Structure 1
């Protein structure tokens, strides 16, 4: 190709870029759809639409030899048009959200219900309790003291639940904060080699823009999508995206597509960056998984606002069909967040909680029937002590011995 400056490269064989609109000869949607193609299909698309990879470089106003000029206005313009090489993480959960999640534990819910019932019963006094209490004032003095302090049990259960919930929520919040801090520090320290203004420089991965000429070599993890423009015996491991363990050989005439998140296993070369951030293949996957869901929600809201009356007419049907789909999606996402061990432990906890509920319900039913049903009340004439004394006196009378009254 020979040595040439950026201005010479831009002026040579310029195509009609005005038909594509914008500052560059390629739009974001065109590049994004191009990177979705593979192997020969991508080669045919490049030849039919652009001519070759050098023509794509010209449209992106970059040079395969010297790269981008590297001026601040040009880099800022590319970030605005094609996006930044950054995948926004999920919005962190607030402390109140973590508290609410901790409260969803089945065991804690059972304890909360038990505490509320205990508090309610401690403040409930039957109507005839005062008269019976006067008749047995001396014998029931200790019972009255226990009844007055009966609220302590319910309050203690509630206090224990509050402590467990706060500790759990704080631990989750602190772990998430530490994880995000570590992830941010790793992203800031990660750098990649690019060519700008004819100089080979290393820049943070987040500063890579569309049009950069990146140098790739064995062991690199590709930070963005791009087209292979020069190299020697380049082999890529695309198992992180496709699941296929076979290494893919890259060449300009067979398969020039280089995808972010894939590893360079052999060889070296150069590529022109065509998609970054949420517009790259890795970014699209993260967006579908929910990592970049906020931006998609904003786009959906704007699209809904621009739909007009036609969208309003179809709204009832969409809401009826989409409601169940959203609920299923949320349920599936909630299930995917848990590991196999966590799922089994959760299932075991639910089973234990259900068993506890059944046993507590049986106990309550028995107690209610005992105090309100046909069973005799535990009065002095029906007490076990009275029955034992009557039995002893009967046996003594049969043997002719003295009874307790005669002694």
Structure 2
């Protein structure tokens, strides 16, 4: 039995690889040996991650500190209910637990769609493979391939395992999903002289890639998790998924609120215990209930659920705009993205090789239109003239180039389901597309009949075909590397004539090729001659490399994978919003730099950092390079991951886009991974947090805009919720501290008295918090959110200025509420009150509820007047009206009076409550006027303003 291969197969001779693996390349393994090795090495499959059980997913949802705090509050409420005698039902605890359950269900439903990314890799690569077994070709499931198997490869095959090429004839393999390079790679059995990047290992074929042309035979060297795709699966499995900025901030706020609540509750309960000296069990129950009331007052119970609902609504809006977000918290992350790392092929480019320029002896033309749709025309380069207006010589030469390139061609172009698709080599297909842009040329191509072909080989770097023309002539048509082709040419086409190819003309034509290469074009030369050696009646001549002599050079084409037309505009908009765009690709550095310059990612002439250069950098050096470089080329999957990690270490919030298997680990590691929905593999779709349904880079920018709007709205309802809860906490705190000053102790009689009942506080949270907060979650955009830079990673969702506003509103709410209580109670600071404790408490309770509703309008902006765009959010008005109506009901409906300890109020009580509650609005208006004046003064003092 063969041991695992103990050498690098790319650096060893194919015969040595076969010897080490114990296989005869001409007969393959025996069936028995294959079965034995399958038992030893296991199936050729990628290891999947076991599904997470439901109970663990639920526990994950419950780990949030805010949710934990709510659970503690519910537990204390239950304990207090039991100590009090367990009469009735523990309403407080039930409601809090219901809110938690609602939030857990939303989270589970949203995240149940995200399947395991490594399992998707396994599904993606299920295929059949043709192998030599017992000297005969057999088709076996790719999962049964073993080291030492001899693969037979042909056009259209999926490569089932990593293998060392033993022989090849014009073999070309597309490795875009693995390396990111769009053009097929020519394969050659010749051993490599040294270690090279994955995309340059021309003597190896890899699992998950596809054969686009030629044939070959290869010896399997690695299967399953030992393959290059397996390495990506391992990297993906080990990649840690970071918490989003919003999750981190909400956790921080929850922890902060928890400490505040515990501190205040303990201080007040100890103070009461020391001052009041409770002597009865009921007194201790009251103190404990007060602690629960403070906990309920301080914690916005509805925050997790409201946050989930607002994010879910944002997800729905984004889905309508072709951005499918898989995790709710990722919506906000988009808004804070400061860097978008994007793959080139298929993301910024069409992933459709296109001829854009043709150079002949008489000049050059540009071909318009991109992709495989044959829409466009040829226009004289540097002139505003169509090809029909060019010289007859140039027209003839261009038609000859595209005609010959379309005939010496094994690709096919067809329209299926309204979409143009190709079969075969994308570079060859580019000739078919360009040829159809010249009127009548496609008919001429169809009229010719192929007689024979000398296939492409990496040694010759060219291919040729023999075609019988309708006029009876037989033409030899060749295309290949321009420098190689020119060596076989003796003449050059000038108009309808073949002129001798002298040294000066040859040098000029080679200069044109160099110019195209410098502009990042892939170049292919085309040549032809009349085949006098093939008789007029000969229909199947023997192909002969000797045909490729004394050729007439027709011209050269420049081919490129063109940028998406919408990408440049989207990148410019991202830059305007302070979002940097970084290109990371496996393609050639020159091509990457050219595309980056065309799209505005980097200035013309910028250096593309290569994978080799990255390998030589330490982590700190890489951070410095990542800070200034925006173009990376010839990179491997691990390089992409390092770049993302370096940007994150530099304090950036990173969005990573991609479509290939090689992008998956970086997508998972990034703050927000974005996969292409059309061209993307299932692996990237599963590893990503967002999928673009239209593969449009502009959709990412629209998603960033939506994310920023959502974040602004999150700040609005956070400001509102915390203002409301701050008002409740301060009311309870100062109500206890000032219990004798406001007349509350006298009205309470024996025992310990509190300003508001726990059920009333819970009512405030449910009535005034939920509906207005939800309405603010869909508040229309106020200012242009894309006119400002992204939020910094250290910038708090709730910053110092916001806490100042929360404190100001909370103090005003508490003052108005306690003033109302003092006003209606006998004694206290304000004389004249004659109402009972129930009426006074109801008036204070109503003042606090209405004050919270007024505060909703303040919370829409930290600086703008509440009267600006006052009626822009009709949902908010509806929520406020609903809250006011419910408060009327709880005050005047008898069953609710019993449940919440309220008493009916007359019109005068209501009028005073409304007037006191409105103080929140006026105090904040004055504060905002001061803030705006300060901002204007600060702006006027900046150097730019003075200039």
* Range of TM-score over shorter length: 0.5 to 0.7
Number of equivalent positions: 292
Match status 1:62 vs 2:412: no
| Structure 2: stretches of 5+ with no match in the other structure | 193-201, 241-644, 650-664, 674-686, 691-702, 749-820, 827-831, 836-947
Q: 1:368 aligns with which of 733, 738, 741?
A: 733
Q: Distance in 1 between matches of 2:155 and 2:66?
A: 53
Could you tell me which residue of structure 2 aligns to residue 206 of structure 1? 143
Q: Distance in 2 between matches of 1:58 and 1:175?
A: 45
Check conservation: 1:84, 1:277, Cα contact below 8 A. Answer: yes
Structural mapping, 1:203-242, within 5 Å? 203-242=140-179
Could you tell me which residue of structure 1 aligns to residue 43 of structure 2? 84
Check conservation: 2:5, 2:221, Cα contact below 8 A. Answer: no
Please report the TM-score for the alignment, with normalisation by the length of structure 1. 0.57
Q: Distance in 2 between matches of 1:223 and 1:229?
A: 16
Equivalent residue of 2:100, what SS?
Answer: helix
Could you tell me which residue of structure 2 aligns to residue 399 of structure 1? none
Tell me whether 211-220 or 381-390 shows the greater mean CA deviation. 381-390
Structural mapping, 1:3-402, within 5 Å? 23-24=1-2, 27-31=3-7, 34-35=8-9, 42=10, 45-46=11-12, 52-71=13-32, 74-105=33-64, 108-109=67-68, 111-116=70-75, 118-119=77-78, 122=81, 149=88, 151-162=90-101, 164-165=103-104, 168-169=107-108, 176=115, 190-253=127-190, 255-290=202-237, 333=669, 335=671, 339=689, 355=719, 356=721, 359-373=724-738, 375-378=741-744, 379=747, 384=824, 387=832
Q: Distance in 1 between matches of 2:138 and 2:206?
A: 21
Check conservation: 1:228, 1:270, Cα contact below 8 A. Answer: yes
Could you tell me which residue of structure 2 aligns to residue 303 of structure 1? none
Which protein is richer in helix relative to its size? 1
Which protein is richer in strand relative to its size? 2
Could you tell me which residue of structure 2 aligns to residue 313 of structure 1? none
Could you tell me which residue of structure 1 aligns to residue 921 of structure 2? none
- Residue by residue, what CA displacement relative to the aligned partner does 1:313-353 show, whole Å, maximum 9, x if unpaired? xxxxxxxxxxxx9xx99xx8595666267996997898689
* Aligned-residue offset at 1:65: 2.8
Could you tell me which residue of structure 1 aligns to residue 329 of structure 2? none
Check conservation: 1:110, 1:353, Cα contact below 8 A. Answer: no
- Residue by residue, what CA displacement relative to the aligned partner does 1:81-110 show, whole Å, maximum 9, x if unpaired? 545312111132122211111213566446
Check conservation: 2:5, 2:21, Cα contact below 8 A. Answer: no
* Aligned-residue offset at 1:206: 0.9
Distance 1:348 1:338, change over 3 A: farther
Greater relative contact order, per chain length (Cα 8 Å cut-off, separation 6+): 1
* Aligned-residue offset at 1:160: 4.3
Q: Distance in 2 between matches of 1:60 and 1:83?
A: 16
Q: Distance in 2 between matches of 1:67 and 1:108?
A: 62
Equivalent residue of 2:732, what SS?
Answer: helix
Q: Distance in 2 between matches of 1:166 and 1:288?
A: 31
Tell me whether 381-390 or 194-203 shows the greater mean CA deviation. 381-390
- Residue by residue, what CA displacement relative to the aligned partner does 1:147-169 show, whole Å, maximum 9, x if unpaired? 95572132232144236536754
Q: Distance in 1 between matches of 2:30 and 2:168?
A: 22
Equivalent residue of 1:219, what SS?
Answer: coil
* Aligned-residue offset at 1:225: 0.5
Distance 1:384 1:229, change over 3 A: same
Please report the TM-score for the alignment, with normalisation by the length of structure 2. 0.27
Q: Distance in 1 between matches of 2:724 and 2:824?
A: 27
Check conservation: 1:106, 1:350, Cα contact below 8 A. Answer: no
Equivalent residue of 1:366, what SS?
Answer: helix
Distance 1:169 1:348, change over 3 A: farther
- Residue by residue, what CA displacement relative to the aligned partner does 1:220-264 show, whole Å, maximum 9, x if unpaired? 332211011223211122233322323211011263111222222
Question: How large is the Cα RMSD of the aligned pairs?
Answer: 4.6
